[in-house]
């Protein structure tokens, strides 16, 4: 990445983002935490959070854009190493095609709960949803996302 590209990316990163994820499947629970810089923007009742994903060597591996519309709709758009558009609406099931360099995976997402608490300086998004990958795998995910302007 050139110095010009790096400077452009830094101008957009106006916030600090923390994402706590929990996935429970087959009686086992995995937890992960991500702390990074991000873009946070509000336009009426719509919130956009955008952050760069890095690989284990610190190189850019992709970008994730999360769009929140009230308590009713969250989209998560991943581009780069993994590509997917995930739609979460309470009580509705949406199909997702999750593509990686290793191949594509079809799954269903069903949002159980979306809780939104945003204000001009940041806020919080909590998601609880089910992932179903055919007969082979199902899991419950919980995401607790916190963002604050820096």
Residues whose CB is less than 8 angstroms from the CB of residue 112 and which lie 6 or more positions away in sequence, other chains included:
90, 128, 129, 130, 140
Q: What's the pTM?
A: 0.87
Q: With b meaning 16 or more CB within 10 Å and e meaning fewer, what string describes 99-131?
A: eeeeeeeebebbbeebebebeeebbebebbbeb
**Which residues of the chain are modeled with pLDDT < 50?**
1-9
- 110 close to 126: Cβ distance less than 8 angstroms: no
| Every domain of the chain and the residues it spans | 3-149
Residue 81: both structure tokens together: 């190493």
Just give the CATH number of 3-149. Answer: 2.40.128.20
User: For residue 51, what pLDDT is reported?
Assistant: 96
Per-residue pLDDT tens over the stretch 22-53: 999 989 999 999 999 999 999 988 999 999 98
User: For residue 109, what pLDDT is reported?
Assistant: 96
């Amino acid at each position: 990445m050139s110095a010009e590209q790096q400077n452009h990316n830094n101008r957009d990163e106006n916030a600090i983002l923390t994402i706590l994820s929990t996935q429970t499947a087959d009686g086992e629970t995995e937890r992960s935490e991500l702390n990074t810089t991000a873009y946070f923007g509000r336009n009426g009742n719509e919130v956009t959070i955008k952050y760069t994903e890095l690989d284990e060597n610190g190189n850019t591996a992709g970008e994730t854009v999360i769009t929140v519309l009230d308590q009713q709709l969250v989209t998560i758009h991943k581009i780069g190493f993994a590509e997917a558009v995930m739609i979460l609406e309470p009580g509705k099931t949406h199909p997702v095609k999750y593509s990686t360099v290793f191949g594509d995976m079809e799954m269903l997402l069903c949002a159980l709960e979306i809780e939104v608490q945003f204000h001009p300086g940041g806020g919080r998004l909590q998601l609880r949803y089910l992932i179903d990958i055919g007969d082979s795998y199902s899991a419950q995910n919980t995401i607790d996302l916190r963002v604050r302007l820096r």
